[in-house]
Every structure is written in C-alpha cells, then in structure tokens.
Amino acid sequence: MRLFLFLLFLGAVLACSANGKGPEKPSAEALEPSSPGDTLFFEKKQFVAANGDTLPYRLCMPLDYDPGKSYPLVLFLHGAGERGTCNALPLKHGPLAFARRALQDKHPCFVLVPQCPKERRWVEVDWKLPAHDMPATPSKPLTTALELLAEVQRTLSVDSSRLYVTGLSMGGYGTWDLVSRQPGRFAAAVPVCGGGDEAQAHRLANMPIWTFHGADDKIVLPIRSQHMVEAIRKAGGKPRYTEYPQVGHNAWDHAYADEALFEWLFAQKLR
C-alpha cells in the first residue's frame, strides 16, 4: 500500500513540475489510480478569499456522494516541505490515507487539503523553541483556510457536527493553534509532531484529541506534544498520546497507518 501511494504521489508531482508549473486541470493518470478502487480522486482547485488572497487546495469528495446526505470532513494541514503553488505536494504525506476506498467504504468523508504559501506558516512561530505563546491572531494562510472551510460547508453537504482537523509538523502546529482558537467547532483533532500553547489547555479539556510524536524527533522536540498533553490532563481533559520509540520527525507514516486512529476519529461527534 505504501509503495502504491508513493507512486501515485510521484505521478502528481511530475505532472506539476513539467515546464515549471502544473496543468490547469489534474490528469486522471496523475492523481487517480489506473486500476479501479484503491484511492479516490483529489480535485485540483484554487480559492479566492474576500480580500483577494488565493489559496491552492485539493478536495476529495466522499465515495458515492449524495447531496441529500451529510458527510464528515477532514481538514488536513500539511508540513513545511509541502508549501508552494504546485498543490500536488500536500498529498505527499497523509491525505491519501483518508481517501483510500477501503476507508471511504466505511467512513465516506470530504478531505480538504489547503496549501500554505512557501514563505508563510500555518502558525507564525519558531518550531525549534521548547514553548511558544499563541499569536494574537491566526496567520494569513490559516485565516484563508478557515474561510475556505466555511465556503465548502456552505456549498457542499458537510456534517457540521463531524468536522475533524489533523496536520503534521508545521501542520501539527496549525492543528493545535486552530482548535485552541475555535475549540467548539471541531469534533476531534489529531496533531502529529507539532506543538501548541500550553496556556490554552483549559480550552481543550473537553475536546477529543489524539496526538503523535517520535521519541527521537530533533526537529520538533517531543516535549512539545508531551507538555500539551500534560497541561490538558491537568485541566481535566483526557487526550490520547502515542510516542514512537526510535522514531525521529517522521511520526506521520506510523500515525496514518494506524487503523485504530481512523476508527476513533470517525466515532467522534459534537454533542
């Protein structure tokens, strides 16, 4: 499965890199499997915010989408290496796991993958620090991503009680930041090898959270996840925490390969 997902992503990247830019429309050969059924299609799109800012994104529709029904939505925030304008890159780590036909058979859902500009961050903080204070306002890319999310909710049949957010590395920081600002909006959060502001823990005490980190991570220190979990538990919360021994920064391959994560995630719903 991992080899298939890698080859699928590689085809998308090669399509984007041809002549220095991607095609206006994604080819089925680049993003959709040639054999029926393994991974659903991510449509290439671009969002224009009210202030004129643009944000490339990919959207996977639920399997056998019926506008008369409502479906959960997974907002996926990619890492620093996937920033830019060729929006096949954010599919590299994680999103394809949510678009597997086997998963969509059980849990049909939207998968929304915005792309952060190369020079910006989901959260404008130093990732190497052992702690940070949450900025007074969300970053411009995260603000635009939230506007995009609202537009998708307005135009498609999204179950507002089953919004989920996950992200890795830079996107893990974005996940912590987003749920700290809007703790009542998302039914669950899955930050992977990220970090948040421990002073916001009291806002997350009632939120289902499962966070992951590699014990040997030298890029984002494991204490970033450990301290957030400790602070939420002190505030009365019950977050889950999985730390992988002898794993560095790449905790996401392990996290998004864990079927227990998906079963837990899609069981969460706002009350």
What string of DSSP letters covers 217-259?
A: -SSS-THHHHHHHHHHHHTT---EEEEETT--S--HHHHTT-H
The reported pLDDT for the residue numbered 120 is 96
Going by their DSSP bridges, the two strands 110-114 and 54-60 should be labelled as antiparallel
Q: What's the CA gap between 234 and 61, in Å, rounded?
A: 39
Give the DSSP letter of residue 61.
P
Q: How confident is the model at residue 39 (pLDDT cuts 50, 70, 90)?
A: confident
Average pLDDT (179-203) is 97
**Those residues with Cβ within 8 angstroms of residue 141's Cβ, 6 or more apart along the chain or in another chain:** 55, 114, 116, 117, 120, 121, 122
For 91-112, how does the pLDDT look when each residue is reduced to its tens digit (9 = 90+)? 999 999 999 999 999 999 999 9
User: How far from chain centre, in Å, is Cα 31?
Assistant: 18
Structure pTM?
Answer: 0.88
User: How far from chain centre, in Å, is Cα 138?
Assistant: 16
The reported pLDDT for the residue numbered 257 is 96
Going by their DSSP bridges, the two strands 158-168 and 188-192 should be labelled as parallel
Least reliable range by pLDDT among 15-24, 90-99, 120-129, 135-144: 15-24
The reported pLDDT for the residue numbered 93 is 94
- Give the 3-state secondary structure of residue 160: strand
The reported pLDDT for the residue numbered 271 is 85
**Angle CA(182)–CA(162)–CA(74) in degrees, nearest 5?**
80
For 219-238, how does the pLDDT look when each residue is reduced to its tens digit (9 = 90+)? 999 999 999 999 999 999 99
Average pLDDT (45-71) is 95
Tell me which of 271 and 263 has the higher pLDDT: 263
Indicate whether 12 pLDDT > 90: no
For 163-183, how does the pLDDT look when each residue is reduced to its tens digit (9 = 90+)? 999 999 999 999 999 999 999
Indicate whether 13 pLDDT > 50: no
- Mean pLDDT rounded to a whole number for the chain: 89
Give the DSSP letter of residue 187.
S
The reported pLDDT for the residue numbered 19 is 37
Residue 129's alpha-carbon distances to 111, 117, 201, 221, in angstroms, are: 31, 22, 18, 8
Q: Count helices and strands (H / E) in the chain.
A: 9, 8
The sign of the dihedral angle between the CA atoms of 248, 214, 264, 76 is negative
Going by their DSSP bridges, the two strands 71-77 and 240-244 should be labelled as unpaired
Burial 18-38 (b: 16+ CB within 10 A, else e): eeeebeeebeeebbbbeeeeb
Q: Which of 248, 177, 249, 256 is nearest to 210 (CA)?
A: 256
Phi, psi dihedral angles at 66 (to 5 degrees): -125, 110
Q: How confident is the model at residue 16 (pLDDT cuts 50, 70, 90)?
A: low
